[in-house]
Chain A
């Protein structure tokens, strides 16, 4: 078992590593300006000059996929980070102190989990409008309950353990115990949740943008590009394929990482 987990983790790390590398390079350099239009080279098939061909405005698809993947990655990372921080604080405090606030928040939590993430994201978009920042906000909000629940559960468990009791007896402050002593012990559990959440964020962003309510053009986004590529399925199937495969690789990499960490396979 350990062996397979290790191998899975390594495969995930390699895929994610390569994707990250391409994205990082894309931040400083892409073969072409992803938004630069070129009337002379519209819908060009893949070639040495344009690795993945060009789109209907003559924009280089490879550059756009790289930048789109970067945008998608960033949106997912920021929203997971936001959800994580708020979730950890909220879950930690409620788990530590308990009481009616704990009850209330957990009820709220349960209610929120009744809404599938795509649905909740759509509702939030309906309320606050689309666009890059609103997507981050909506997804971040979405992840708070997930993290809060896990942290709360773990804190409640660890609270009773000997090391915490002795720390208390020694007069260590609550906040210090919570965030300095307990938190590091929860990290392994959190890691796989982070990976799963990241995957959900990538999928949700891609779905929203595909539906046209997420990232707005001309900002590249993998979902948005998939939508545009649909018009050219017959004449330029590589357009849809390349943006779709980029999504798959992002999700696959983190999926393998999460499994390697011993997490659940599903969200």
Chain B
């Protein structure tokens, strides 16, 4: 259990570094937010009050520590554009993005594993070869382009959903899922294609090993060998990859939310960057980066748990 403690220590250290780096980055920006907000006419008292409210007093390290302490306790500062707590501006949006990402991740899982196994099982068949080619193409399609195609095909032509008419979770659970399905699928398609491809090469790699030859010599069919011997080992890198890709999916939703007008943190991030509302942007950036770090950590632990070889070393 010592390694877990060590890994957790590294996790915390990395999180600290990530937050510091993001915080620092947003401090480089020239210009004083106080004068920006107040314009040209203001009294020193008013400026001082505002500076205090925005947490802009003191030197860099003091500001960072104060911000960090606030961040950990859920106080993300005050939005420059709205003069409201960032938390309030973000209200409800985090859940939407989370739902979108998890749905998308489930879709990746649902498609990629069976597809990968099928491609590996029939790897010499004409059909599988054609499917592998299509898979290659899917890997190359950017999610936002798929999103635009979906909008056109399923939204405007077939009218299966109303593009732009997001159904809030509070209004209807299935309505919400029904709307999010399309953006989730748009994000999932290239990701699932990549995952399937990874699974195929992982299975192919395992097939070269000695134990597989032994299994064949016992008279097992290719499918039997894959199912009973290879799959367990071959899935290992895929599981790691899937764990890490959740964060990628969240990042991917930044753009896809824009296409489907989903009111999540992705749209908020783009809007806050455009309007230079840095407290909001910083919060979202740190949240996503923290998620990446955390998922890498989880992937690491999962690997260790499944694979005894890694556990030994």
**Interface positions of A (Cβ within 8 A of B):** 1, 8, 107, 110-112, 114-119, 122-123, 125-127, 199, 203, 206-207, 210-213, 226, 229-230, 233-234, 237, 240, 244, 247-249, 251-252, 255-256, 265-266
B270–A213 touching, CB < 8 Å: yes
Whether B95 sits at the interface, judged by CB under 8 Å, is: no
**Extra contacts besides A122-B254, A123-B26 (13): CB < 8 Å:** A111-B21, A114-B289, A115-B18, A116-B250, A119-B251, A126-B276, A127-B25, A127-B28, A207-B255, A211-B270, A213-B273, A226-B145, A255-B136
Asked if A123 and B22 sit within 8 Å, CB to CB, the answer is yes
A115 & B289 in contact (Cβ 8 Å cutoff): yes
Q: Given the complex of chains A and B, what is the CA–CA distance between A244 and B14 in angstroms?
A: 38
Q: Do A234 and B156 contact each other (CB < 8 Å), given the known contacts A116-B288, A119-B288, A265-B201?
A: yes
Contacts of B102 in A (CB 8 A): none
Query: A248 vs B151: C-alpha distance in the bound complex, in angstroms?
Result: 18
Contact of A114 with B18 in the complex, beta carbons under 8 Å: yes
Interchain CB contact under 8 A, B14 and A111: yes
Point out the residue from A207, A252, A265 that lies within 8 Å of B144, measured CB to CB: A207
Number of interface residues of B (CB under 8 A): 50
Given A110-B14, A210-B255, A234-B156, do A116 and B292 touch, yes or no (CB 8 Å)? yes
Partner of B247, one of A116, A211, A247: A116
Is B141 touching A248 in the complex (CB atoms < 8 A)?
Answer: yes
B183 interfacial by beta-carbon distance below 8 Å:
no
Interface residues of A, dominant DSSP? helix
Question: Is A119 within 8 A of B254, CB to CB?
Answer: yes
Which of A207, A211, A212 contacts B142, CB < 8 Å? A207
Task: Please give me the residue from chain B that is nearest to A116 by CB atom.
Answer: B251
Give complex CA distance A111, B29 in Å.
21
Which residues of B from 241 to 295 have beta carbons under 8 Å from A? 241, 247-248, 250-252, 254-255, 258-259, 269-270, 273-274, 276, 278, 281, 285, 288-289, 292-293
Q: Is the CB of B292 within 8 A of A114?
A: yes
Contacts of B151 in A (CB 8 A): 230, 233
Flag if B137 contacts A244 (CB, 8 Å).
no
Contact A115/B270 with A1-B204, A233-B148, A256-B136 known, Cβ cut-off 8 Å:
no
Minimum CB–CB distance from A13 to chain B (whole Å) comes to 14
Contacts of A199 in B (CB 8 A): 140
Binary flags per residue of B184-210, CB closer than 8 Å to A gives 1, else 0: 000000000010011001001000000
Q: How far is the CA of A234 from the CA of B139 in the complex (A)?
A: 26
With a cutoff of 8 Å between Cβ atoms, the chain B residues found around residue A112 in the complex are: 21
**Inside 8 A of B293's CB, which chain A residues have their CB?**
114
Question: In the complex, are the beta carbons of A123 and B255 less than 8 A apart?
Answer: no
Separation of A234 and B148 alpha carbons in the complex (Å): 12
With CB as the reference atom, state the residue of chain B lying closest to A266.
Answer: B194
Please measure, in the bound complex, the distance between the C-alpha atom of A255 and the C-alpha atom of B241, giving whole angstroms.
Answer: 18
Q: State whether A240 and B152 are in contact (beta carbons under 8 Å apart), knowing that A123-B22, A127-B28 are contacts in the complex.
A: yes
Query: Does residue B48 face the partner (Cβ distance < 8 Å to A)?
Result: no
Min CB–CB distance A103 → chain B (angstroms) = 13
Provide the residues of chain B in CB contact with A123, threshold 8 Å: 22, 25-26, 273, 281, 285
Report the nearest B residue to A203, measured CB to CB.
Answer: B142
B149 within 8 A of A: yes
Which residues in B have their C-beta under 8 angstroms from that of A115?
18, 22, 285, 288-289, 292
| Residues of B188-240 contacting chain A, CB below 8 A | 194, 197-198, 201, 204
In contact, B149 and A118 (Cβ under 8 angstroms)? no
| Residue in chain B with minimal CB distance to A112 | B21
Q: Once the chains bind, are B156 and A233 in contact (CB under 8 Å)?
A: yes
User: Contacts A213-B270, A248-B141, A266-B241; is A111 near B198 (CB within 8 Å)?
Assistant: no
Identify the closest chain B residue to A15 (Cβ).
B140
- Can you list 16 residue pairs at the A/B interface with Cβ under 8 Å? A114-B293, A115-B22, A116-B250, A116-B251, A123-B273, A126-B276, A127-B28, A207-B255, A210-B258, A213-B273, A226-B144, A226-B145, A230-B259, A240-B152, A244-B149, A265-B198
